[in-house]
Every structure is written in structure tokens, then in C-alpha cells.
Amino acid sequence: MPAKPITAADVRVALRRRFCAPEWALLFEVGDATGARHTRFADAVAMSLWPSRGLELHGMEIKVSRYDWRNERKRPEKAETIAAYCDRWWLVTGPGVVESSDEIPPAWGWIDFDGERLTTVREATRTDAKDCDRRFLAALLRRASKTDDAAVEAAITRRMREKEEAFDERVRRAVEMRVGDRDQVIRDVEAFEAAAGFKISEFRGFNWDAEETGRAVAALKKSGVDKAFHGLQHAAETLRSCAARVEEALAEIGLPPRKPPTESKRTKRGRA
């Protein structure tokens, strides 16, 4: 599968990584003036901001097509309008755009981008740049202000997206809670029906009164019947334990264990 072609946008992203703040200020599509007075554009202009680096202004021409580069070579004076304000001028290319460094004007530097990294093939010669006039300064400031506008717009968009994602997350959690509550209610109803021995849905056609059934269940709970039932079970277990201990005590003193009443006697006592 052929490699994806490198675009000018790819090159700009790579330039942003190399000529980044706080060492550099990088602007794209900078004209030689503002309004109708501009005649040329530089694809990129980078200003060195550290005095130790010389506070140089670098201009750049970006080419990702061999065809475009051949046309550019036919009009070498095109870049001179803005290059005159720059201390150094660079040609930044994609793979295969330049076949030999002999094609590049002597003072120009050459940076090649392979899709991953920028490689300086030839250093740009420092030239005597003329002072920036107000027209070129206005062009720089206009481009800088547009860059700020784009950054602000991007920040606003990012913030709105974050708020939307946060809202979506709250909705998702609320839905999960509601679904969880519903599932628990369904389990509780199934447990109630299993214990009661009937299904609620079977009584919907027979004057089923959910409120009345609820009051009946509440009355049973208040009466303590459920607690009494468990209490009787506990009492029976206690009596059986006591009887077993009595039998053990009788055996230790040599007395025969008491015989349980016969069925006939139980029946007579029950009838009496």
C-alpha cells in the first residue's frame, strides 16, 4: 500500500513542533503588507525571541509537489519581496520535491520533511535584512491577531465539547442508576411472588387492588406475626435441647429414660 502523500498542512504541523514557544514565534501566510497593497506571501515566518540566538527573522517557502517547485524556480524574484526583511530564507519540502541542492538558490537553506521529522539538508546563509517598515509590521501583527483568534476559538470549542461530554456522562450515569433501580424492583417483585405463591399479573383481571394488598402486608408486619413464627421455632429448638439434657442426666443417675406417650394417649389427650 503506497504511503500517504505529505501535505502542506503536515509540514506546518512539523514546523510548529520545531519553531515553538517560548523560543520562537511562528506565523503562517504572512504578506508583505495589509489590504490591497500586499503583493507577496511567505508560507511561514519564524521570529527568534531569545537574544542569545540573535533575534533573527526566518522566512520559509513550503513545497510538497515537484511540479510546484519547478514553477517556483522559474520566478525566483517572487520570494525576494518578503525575503528582503528576513535574516535567513528557507525552502521546506516534502520527499522527492528537490532532486539536487543545486536547484536551490545559493543563499537559501533547505529543510526536508519525510513525514516524521524535519532534517536540515543545507543551512541558510544569513543576509543583511532591511528594517521592517510599517506595512510589513502591520502584516505580521494582523497574522498574529488571527492566530490569537483561532486559538481563542479553539479554546471555546474545546470548552464547549468538555461541557457536552460532562453532561453526556451525567445523563449516562443517571440512566444507569434508573436501570439499576428498575432491575432491583423486578427482583424484589419476583421474590415476593415466589414467597406468596402467586403472581401479581394473574390478578390484574380480577379487581386486583395493589394498595389494599400493600395495607394487608403492612398490617401483618405490624402484628409481629413474622417475628412470632420465628420465636416459636426458637422455642421448639430450646425445648428439644432441654429434653436431650434431661435424658442425659437421668442416664447418669441410673434412671430409665421417660417413654414418650403412645399414639393412643396423645389422641385421647387431644380429644379431651
Q: What are the pLDDT digits (tens) for 246-266?
A: 777 667 776 666 665 555 544
pLDDT of residue 52: 84
Q: Residue 79 burial by CB count (10 A; 0-12/13-18/19+): exposed, middle or buried?
A: buried
143: its cell numbers = 497574522
| Span 8-25, average pLDDT | 90
203: its cell numbers = 390478578
Q: Give per-residue burial for 19-51: e unless 16+ CB within 10 Å, then b.
A: beeeebbbbbebbbbbeeebeebbbbbbbbeee
162: its cell numbers = 468538555
Higher pLDDT, 204 or 236: 236
The H or E element that residue 221 is part of is: helix 210-223
Which of these, 58, 66, 19, 65, lies nearest to 42 by C-alpha position?
58
Which of these, 143, 78, 141, lies nearest to 105 by C-alpha position?
78
| Span 81-102, average pLDDT | 91
CB proximity list for 76: less than 8 A, separation 6 or greater: 105
| Span 218-234, average pLDDT | 63
pLDDT of residue 83: 86
Residue 148 in this model has a pLDDT that exceeds 60:
no
Average predicted confidence (pLDDT) for the chain: 76
- DSSP per-residue codes, 51-97: GGGT--EEEEEEE--HHHHHHHHH-GGGGHHHHTT-SEEEEEE-TTS
